[in-house]
Amino acid sequence: MPKLVNLGSLCIDQVYRVPNIANAGETVASLGHDTYPGGKGLNQSLAAARAGVAVSHVGCVGADGEWLKTALRESGVEVSGVRSVAGGSGHAIIQVDAAGQNAIVVVGAANRGVEETDLEVALGQMHAGDWLLIQNEINDLERVLAGAARRGVALAFNLAPVDGRERGYDLSSVKLLIVNEIEAAALAGVKQPSAALARIGERLPDTDVVLTLGREGLLYAGPSGQGSTPAFAVQAVEETGSGDAFIGYLMAGLLQGLGLPDALVLGAAAGGLAATREGAASSIPDLESVRGLIASARANPKG
Distance CA 88, CA 70 (A): 17
Q: Pairing relation of β-strands 176-180 and 154-158?
A: parallel
Distance CA 202, CA 194 (A): 12
What is the model's pTM?
0.94
In the sheet with 154-158, reading across from the earlier edge strand, the strands are 78-84, 55-61, 4-7, 131-135, 154-158, 176-180, 208-212, 218-221, 227-229
Distance CA 54, CA 202 (A): 34
Strands (E) across the chain are located at: 4-7, 11-17, 32-38, 55-61, 78-84, 90-96, 102-107, 131-135, 154-158, 176-180, 208-212, 218-221, 227-229
- Can you give the residue ranges of every domain in the chain? 4-295
What is the pLDDT averaged over residues 252-270?
98
CATH fit for domain 4-295, picks 3.30.70.1290, 2.40.340.10, 3.40.50.620, 3.40.1190.20: 3.40.1190.20
pLDDT digits (tens, 9 = 90+) for 195-240: 999 999 999 999 999 999 999 999 999 999 999 999 999 988 888 8
Backbone angles phi, psi at 139, to 5 degrees: -95, 175
pLDDT digits (tens, 9 = 90+) for 263-299: 999 999 999 999 999 878 889 999 999 999 999 999 8
Q: Write down the pLDDT at residue 302.
A: 65
Of 18-22, 247-251, 261-265, 274-278, where does mean pLDDT reach its minimum? Answer: 274-278
Half-sphere exposure of 18 (CA within 13 A, CB side): 19
CB 140 within 8 A of CB 169: no
Of 92-96, 149-153, 187-191, 267-271, where does mean pLDDT reach its minimum? Answer: 92-96
Distance CA 196, CA 198 (A): 5
Q: How many of the other CB atoms lie within 10 Å of CB of 26?
A: 8
Distance CA 216, CA 51 (A): 24
pLDDT digits (tens, 9 = 90+) for 138-178: 999 999 999 999 999 999 999 999 999 999 999 999 999 99
| Proportion of the chain in helix, strand, coil states, percent, rounded to 5 | 40, 25, 35
Residue 123 has pLDDT above 70, yes or no: yes
pLDDT digits (tens, 9 = 90+) for 64-85: 999 999 999 999 999 999 999 9
